[in-house]
């Protein structure tokens, strides 16, 4: 143990979901590290929409909470113990600050061995059934290669925000292959949408167009990373969904002087909403041979403007979590000052007030009417 590190405690208080709207503070054992595992003392944890969804509904799709599950997966902390099999070449040391990449694959399947570990069918992911451990606790263990060192100038809060930032990096850099000078439109100015805007700006986008139905969110987006903002017009009575989507796309182009093709047209569309109308509008907006990436979760099935996809020969991709190289790039963007995460953290809570933090996230605004973007919870003392 390093001289400056706190002594390893014998308890592991955890914020545990026992059922819908049923949370408790449980005492769980301190995880025993084996082989190439590392024990991290958690410092900060952000609340994700998926955490709130589990609290509200007890499931997300086929992931069902059928036994007590510790919540939380957006975290940073300090290494307090190394397993005997952690290679010296990893560079990891006790006392080191790290961002926690909260899931790991089996390392042996085709997806893992081809570098697509995020698609591993046997993925173990924090606070996602059937795994019952999350990071809203004192101690959490992971294989060494899922821990990413952060410099002293990157705060623990920033370290916790690397997880959602990596979602944005994955969609724009890894999947869309965004280039400097590209024009990007992003639907949804919530936490993930805002981070996508920040990444697009950091990677050199010529224009970053933010689309949302709330002016307050767009005002923040414009001050944060967007070059342009747009509120869609209301739908006409009796207007079909696809007709509305085409009209919506045309209205955006006209309002922002964006051509349908050629110089200045939209190269990439990121949908962070999951709303069918946003998906259709985005596909209509793209230039020929443009790239559409679906990040936001919505209905399991949505209608698509297939004619636009075919005649424009669009690339349409789904984006799931993050993968190879995403965490290192996210950390680099923050470390070099190209992405500023601090404006996104709007509320902070102690571990003892975790349920209140969840309720605030669900409400979307605090008692003074201030919008909630990202809530951070301190680890237990």
Q: What is the pLDDT of residues 97-143, one digit of tens each?
A: 999 999 999 999 999 999 999 999 999 999 999 999 999 999 999 99
What residues contact 224, with CB distance under 8 A and at least 6 apart?
194, 197, 198, 343, 344
Q: Is 150:76 a contact under the CB 8 Å cutoff?
A: yes
> Is residue 3 scored above 90 in pLDDT?
no
> Is residue 6 scored above 90 in pLDDT?
no
> Is residue 4 scored above 80 in pLDDT?
no
Q: What is d(CA 124, CA 106) in angstroms, rounded to the nearest whole number?
A: 8
Tokens 């025993």 belong to residue: 32
Identify any residues that bridge with 207 across adjacent strands, giving them in sequence order.
183
Q: Is 255:218 a contact under the CB 8 Å cutoff?
A: no
DSSP structure class, residue 370: P
87 φ, ψ (degrees, to nearest 5):
-70, 145
What SS3 state is found at 207? Answer: strand
> Is residue 2 scored above 70 in pLDDT?
no
Q: What is d(CA 377, CA 44) in angstroms, rounded to the nearest whole number?
A: 6
User: What average pLDDT does this structure show over 237-266?
Assistant: 97
Domain ranges of the chain: 12-149+341-378, 169-318
User: What average pLDDT does this structure show over 154-162?
Assistant: 98
CATH class of 12-149+341-378: alpha beta
Strands 63-64 and 345-349: unpaired
The confidence score (pLDDT) of residue 5 equals: 60
User: What average pLDDT does this structure show over 33-54?
Assistant: 97
Instruction: State what percent of residues in the chain have pLDDT above 90.
Output: 96
At 11-39, the pLDDT tens digits run: 999 999 999 999 999 999 999 999 999 99
The CATH number of the domain covering residues in 169-318: 3.40.50.720
Identify any residues that bridge with 69 across adjacent strands, giving them in sequence order.
17
User: What average pLDDT does this structure show over 315-331?
Assistant: 97
Count of residues making up the chain: 381
Q: What is d(CA 44, CA 189) in angstroms, rounded to the nearest whole number?
A: 24
Q: What is d(CA 223, CA 262) in angstroms, rounded to the nearest whole number?
A: 28
Q: What is d(CA 36, CA 82) in angstroms, rounded to the nearest whole number?
A: 8
Q: What is the pTM of this model?
A: 0.96
Quote the mean pLDDT of the chain.
96
Q: Is 268:182 a contact under the CB 8 Å cutoff?
A: yes
The confidence score (pLDDT) of residue 162 equals: 98
């Amino acid at each position: 143990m390093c001289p400056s590190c706190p002594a390893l405690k014998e308890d592991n208080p955890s914020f545990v979901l026992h059922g819908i709207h049923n949370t408790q503070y449980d005492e769980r054992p301190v995880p025993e590290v084996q082989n190439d595992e590392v024990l991290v003392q958690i410092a900060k944890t952000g609340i994700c929409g998926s955490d709130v969804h589990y609290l509200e509904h007890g499931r997300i799709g086929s992931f069902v909470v059928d036994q007590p599950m510790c919540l939380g997966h957006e975290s940073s902390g300090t290494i307090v113990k190394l397993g005997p099999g952690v290679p010296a070449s990893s560079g990891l040391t006790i006392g080191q600050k790290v961002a926690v990449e909260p899931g790991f694959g089996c390392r042996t399947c085709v997806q893992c061995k081809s570098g697509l570990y995020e698609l591993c069918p046997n993925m173990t992911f924090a606070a996602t059934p059937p795994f019952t451990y999350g990071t809203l606790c004192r101690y959490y263990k992971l294989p060494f290669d899922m821990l990413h060192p952060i410099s002293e100038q990157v705060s623990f809060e920033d370290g916790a925000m690397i997880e959602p930032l990596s979602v944005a990096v994955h969609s724009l850099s890894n999947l869309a292959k965004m280039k400097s000078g590209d024009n990007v439109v992003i639907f949804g100015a919530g936490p993930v949408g805002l981070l996508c805007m920040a990444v697009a700006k950091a990677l050199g986008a010529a224009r970053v167009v933010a689309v949302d139905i709330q002016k307050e969110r767009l005002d923040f987006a414009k001050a944060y990373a967007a070059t342009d903002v747009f509120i869609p017009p209301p739908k006409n009575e009796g207007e079909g969904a696809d007709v509305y989507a085409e009209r919506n796309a045309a209205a955006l182009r006209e309002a922002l002087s964006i051509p349908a093709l050629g110089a200045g047209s939209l190269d990439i569309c990121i949908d962070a909403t999951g709303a069918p109308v946003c998906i259709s509008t985005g596909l209509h907006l793209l230039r020929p041979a443009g790239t559409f990436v679906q990040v936001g979760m919505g209905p399991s099935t949505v209608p698509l403007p297939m004619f636009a996809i075919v005649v424009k020969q669009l690339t349409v991709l789904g984006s799931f979590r993050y993968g190879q190289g995403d965490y290192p790039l996210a950390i680099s963007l923050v470390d070099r000052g190209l992405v500023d995460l601090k404006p996104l953290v709007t509320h902070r809570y102690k571990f003892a007030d975790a349920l209140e933090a969840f309720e605030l996230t669900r409400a979307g605004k605090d008692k003074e009417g201030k919008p909630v973007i990202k809530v951070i919870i301190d680890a237990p003392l």
